[in-house]
Amino acid sequence: MEVQNDYDPSIGFRIKGKAKLREAPQDTCVICLDAVTERAVAVPCNHLNFDFLCLLSWSQEHPSCPLCKAPLTAIEYDWRSPTDRKVYTIPKQDEADKTPTVASATSLIRPSRRRPATSHRPLHTNPDAALAFRRRIYADQNYSLHVGANRTSQYRNFTPATFTTSPALQSRARLFMRRELHVFDFLADNNARLGFLIEYIVAILKTTEVKDASGSASALVAEFLGTNAASLFLHELEAWLRSPYERLEDWDRHVQYAPKRPRYSNG
């Protein structure tokens, strides 16, 4: 009887007809050398010795399989059955080449000396008060108002390429997420899970437009936060990254939200 070499006992079924274990033990990620927690399959070579997050991060710098060097076109993950899985498409290189250079990326986050106009929003100097305010934003599903990119507002748009080449943008993203993700109770007391999700979202921002028409970024984050929370979270994160502010306190003071209208019932 023929032995099935592509059977994955950690999942309980064959991942793909062509997928075979080759250069590394099946349950060890060849990138981080730790146990595989979320299996990823490289497309089209079908190597599967990777964690999804590891292979996703690898693909941003090296869009080829770590084992055979074959060009990657996609990453398959979250296998529920031999035919039910999710697919992350690797951006084409020619699309990345059309994005701004490192020099222009640096200018995106350099605020001018002119200070933005102040608002009457109170400054939350108490971290607990600031976090309580952020929780209300999610409870009300209240999206911050869009600010146009211009010299007066000092807001600047960014792309995955400019984010990838800007350590300052990445640092600001992590700063925002370290507070924002504490809104969710399942992350507030779990530093390991929080750190994982922060780096996971940073990896997404390096490869995917926040408001991509396909909704791929939102779908990836929704796996952890849920659909509504993920959409609002990415909107707020983009608003922060587009802004000229370096401190969360300054952003808290200036970010604007539409007032929630009271609901009237027919008594």
Cα 258 to Cα 91, 176, 222, 228, 241: the distances in Å are 36, 21, 24, 18, 20
Global confidence as pTM: 0.55
Question: Is residue 162 within 8 Å of 168, Cβ to Cβ?
Answer: no
- Give the whole-number percent of the chain exceeding pLDDT 90: 34
Q: What is the mean pLDDT of residues 31-59?
A: 84
The fold for domain 7-89 equals Herpes Virus-1 (3.30.40)
Question: Residue 185 pLDDT > 80, yes or no?
Answer: yes
State the residue for tokens 């991942």: 15
Question: Residue 138 pLDDT > 90, yes or no?
Answer: yes
Q: What is the mean pLDDT of residues 113-138?
A: 63
DSSP 92: P
Q: Where are the domains of the chain?
A: 7-89, 99-254
